């Protein structure tokens, strides 16, 4: 079964509970395991984003007291509040379930329970589990994924018709049980009312002294309830994250999925294995992503654009047919047919209008570069408005900080068709009106009228025979030693 479940299927609500209280000591980190980031999202957020399309009416994250109320915990996912249930003592997954069920008291429906490190679970797999659970009228359903039998995962012991008898841990399994391919994925669906009763029957009579969520199967069966094993999903979804090595492996899987989605939508990737693309990035058809690129945040790349090689874009909008080579951009907008780089740095607030160019070793910040204007190389242009058809010479600097004028940066305004010479400093606030020119090496401190040429540099003085006289003094000094 492949359809997605919804919160109103068969008139029942669906809640999602994510078990996120574990500290993850094997991560060797002060950061709780589920809050480690992967491609711009924490592990917990990956789970929540996968569950959100099931349209749950409520989402609960079971967290430890040290995590509760923390800034790193998501407060909502796509419009649904993420409630917090606190597991006060680390007494196992069954105790975490108990804490979450207390928060969901009164819910009329089912609860999908997922581990907080299950970043590789897909929406489709979650949906199949919920749908099979409801179709069977089950009180408990456990997800089993066929996988490598050498893995130390528990096994689902089920009958031929899918009734789940028990879940046995790998360490306790017989050779025949270890031969079973249906591995316990750690995802469950519970009838909320039945689970609220059954959870009281869990005990801690085991080597760890903990309450295990897997024992809910036995408790439900003894109460005469229907318990199902549901086979679904892909083996790679079994990977939980317990170490940094697991985290790196999960990132590779997630990145491959993201890239595959773009490829199927008509995007070209050269060497996709070298590229990082976060899930929030959108890329238009016939765009080309060259090796070594990192695309983050709300980056939007339009059709036909070429990015890379070795470009880093963080929340940058790229227009059609634009080209960005070996450059770094943050919170900027690049319009159609713009050329950027190599080695350009677009800082926040940069707007490059159609057919403009920012070239080699150019830095821009809070700047509007007009249509067809060029800053070819070796310049810093900050807090500036530049008209259309301008050429900013090599080595230009807009000196935008004037403390004697008060707090904040001062702005440079350049009209259409302006040409500045090489090695200019434009000391803001200053305006170069339409069609103005400036001479090479000038420091411009006053406005330049339209069509005028401004030259602001010291007059050149040549000292005749200077080199010969300097050599004579040097020879005289040597003779006296």
Q: How far is CA 40 from CA 21, 57, 279, 302, in A?
A: 21, 26, 8, 21
What is the C-alpha separation between 326 and 343, in angstroms, rounded?
6
Task: Check whether residue 68 and residue 113 sit in a common domain.
Answer: yes
pLDDT at 107: 95
Other residues' Cβ atoms within 10 Å of the Cβ of residue 456: 16
- Report yes or no: 155 and 175 within 8 Å, Cβ to Cβ: no
Q: Are residues 328 and 212 in the same domain?
A: no
pLDDT of res. 152: 85
Work out the end-to-end distance of the chain between its first and last CA atoms, rounded to an integer number of angstroms. 99
Distance CA 59, CA 462 (A): 79
**Strands 300-301, 282-283: pairing kind:** parallel
Q: Taking Cα atoms as reference points, which of 247, 312, 311, 321 lies closest to residue 43?
A: 247
**Cβ burial, residue 30 (10 Å; 0-12/13-18/19+):** exposed
What are the structure tokens assigned to 10, written together? 């068969």
Give the model's pLDDT for residue 480. 64
Classify residue 467: in a domain, yes or no. no
Q: Report residue 255 as tokens.
A: 């990145």
Positions of the chain with pLDDT under 50: 1-7
Task: Please indicate, yes or no, whether residues 254 and 214 belong to a single structural domain of this protein.
Answer: no
Neighbouring CB atoms inside 10 A of 232's CB total 22
Q: Are residues 210 and 253 part of one domain? A: no
Tell me the C-alpha distance between 48 and 39, whole Å. Answer: 15
Does residue 195 belong to any structural domain of this protein?
yes
* Total domains, the chain: 2
63 forms beta bridges with: 86
* Residue that is last in its domain, among 180, 215, 238: 238
Look up the CATH number of the domain holding residue 221: 3.90.550.10
213 and 288 belong to one structural domain: no
Catalytic residue among 36, 262, 328, 377: 377
pLDDT (0 to 100) of residue 467: 87
- Residue 36: its pLDDT value, please? 94
Residue 479 lies in a domain: no
Judge whether 4 lies within some domain. no
Gap between the Cα atoms of 474 and 481, Å rounded:
11
Residues in the chain: 481
- Cα 449 from Cα 415, distance rounded (Å): 10
One domain, residues 203 and 339: no
Q: Are 394 and 412 in contact (CB under 8 A)?
A: no
- Pair 272, 218 in one domain: no
In a domain, 227, yes or no: yes
Contact 450, 444 (CB under 8 A): no
Same domain, 217 and 260: no
Long-range contacts of 23-32 (CB under 8 A, 24+ apart): 23/64, 23/90, 24/117, 24/241, 24/242, 26/242, 26/243, 27/242, 27/243, 27/244, 27/247, 28/244, 29/244, 31/72, 32/64, 32/66, 32/67
Alpha carbon distance 181, 170 (integer Å): 12
In a shared domain, residues 314 and 165: no
Q: What is the CA radius of gyration of the chain?
A: 32
How do residues 222-244 score in pLDDT, each as one tens digit?
999 999 999 999 999 999 899 99
CB 44 within 8 A of CB 116: yes
Range of the domain at 154: 9-238
Q: How far is CA 313 from CA 187, 248, 275, 293, 421, in A?
A: 36, 22, 12, 8, 31
Q: How far is CA 424 from the centre of its chain?
A: 40
Domain end position, chosen among 196, 211, 238: 238
Domain C-terminal end among 189, 205, 238: 238
The alpha carbon dihedral of 93, 97, 98, 99 has a sign of: positive
Token couple for 332 = 């900027």
Three-state DSSP state, 398: strand
Residue 476 belongs to some domain of the structure? no
Whether residue 390 lies inside any domain: the answer is yes
204/286 same-domain check:
no
CA atoms within 13 A on the CB side of 319: 15
53 found inside a domain: yes
Spatial CB neighbours of 445, under 8 Å, sequence gap ≥ 6:
427, 430, 456
326 is catalytic: no
Is residue 151 domain-shared with residue 274, that is, in the same domain? no
Residue pLDDT, tens place only, 29-72: 989 999 999 999 999 999 999 999 999 999 999 999 988 888 88
In this structure, the strands spanning 317-318 and 333-334 are parallel
Residues 309 and 289 in one domain: yes
Q: What are the backbone angles phi and psi of residue 37, rounded to the nearest 5°? A: -85, 145
> Is the previous residue joined to 268 through a cis bond, with omega within 30 degrees of 0?
no
Pick left, alpha or beta for residue 223 (phi over 0 → left; psi -120 to 50 → alpha; otherwise beta). alpha
């Amino acid at each position: 079964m492949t359809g997605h479940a919804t919160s109103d299927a068969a008139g029942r609500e669906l809640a999602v509970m994510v078990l996120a209280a574990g500290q993850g000591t094997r991560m060797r980190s002060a950061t709780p395991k589920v809050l480690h980031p992967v491609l711009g999202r924490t592990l917990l957020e990956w789970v929540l984003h996968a569950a959100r399309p099931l349209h749950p009416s409520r989402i609960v994250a079971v967290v430890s007291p040290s995590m509760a109320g923390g800034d790193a915990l998501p407060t909502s996912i796509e419009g649904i509040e993420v409630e917090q249930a606190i597991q006060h003592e680390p007494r196992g997954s069954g105790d975490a379930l108990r804490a979450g069920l207390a928060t969901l008291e009164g819910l009329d429906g089912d609860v999908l329970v997922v581990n907080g490190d299950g970043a590789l679970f897909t929406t489709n797999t979650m949906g199949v589990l919920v749908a099979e659970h409801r179709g069977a009228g089950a009180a408990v359903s456990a997800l089993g994924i066929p996988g490598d039998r050498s893995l130390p995962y528990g096994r689902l012991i089920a009958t031929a018709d899918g009734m789940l008898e028990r879940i046995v841990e790998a360490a306790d399994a017989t050779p025949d049980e270890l031969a079973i391919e249906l591995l316990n994925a750690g995802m469950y669906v519970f009838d909320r009312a039945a689970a609220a009763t059954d959870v009281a029957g869990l005990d801690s009579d085991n080597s760890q002294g903990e309450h295990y969520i897997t024992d809910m199967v036995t408790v439900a069966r003894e109460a005469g309830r229907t318990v199902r094993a549901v086979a679904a999903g892909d083996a790679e979804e079994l990977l939980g994250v317990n170490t940094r090595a697991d985290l790196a492996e999960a990132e590779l899987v997630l990145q491959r999925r993201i890239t595959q989605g773009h490829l199927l939508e008509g995007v070209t990737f050269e060497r996709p294995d070298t590229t990082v693309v976060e899930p929030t990035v959108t890329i238009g058809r016939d765009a080309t992503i060259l090796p070594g690129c990192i695309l983050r945040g709300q980056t939007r790349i339009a059709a036909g654009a070429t990015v890379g090689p070795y470009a880093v874009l963080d929340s940058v909008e790229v227009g059609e047919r634009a080209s960005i080579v070996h450059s770094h951009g943050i919170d900027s907008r690049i319009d159609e047919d713009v050329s950027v780089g190599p080695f350009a740095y677009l800082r926040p607030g940069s707007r490059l209008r159609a057919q403009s160019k920012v070239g080699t070793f150019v830095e821009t910040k809070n700047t509007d570069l007009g249509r067809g204007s060029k800053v070819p190389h070796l310049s810093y242009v900050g807090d500036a408005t530049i008209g259309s058809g301008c050429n900013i010479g090599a080595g230009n600097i807009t000196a935008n900080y004037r403390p004697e004028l008060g707090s904040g940066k001062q702005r440079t305004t350049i009209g259409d068709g302006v040409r500045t010479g090489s090695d200019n400093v434009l000391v803001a606030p200053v305006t170069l009106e339409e069609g103005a020119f400036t001479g090479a090496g000038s420091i411009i401190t006053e406005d330049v009228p339209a069509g005028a040429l401004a030259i602001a540099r010291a007059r050149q003085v040549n000292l005749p025979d200077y080199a010969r006289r300097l050599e004579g003094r040097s020879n005289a000094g040597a003779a006296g030693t």
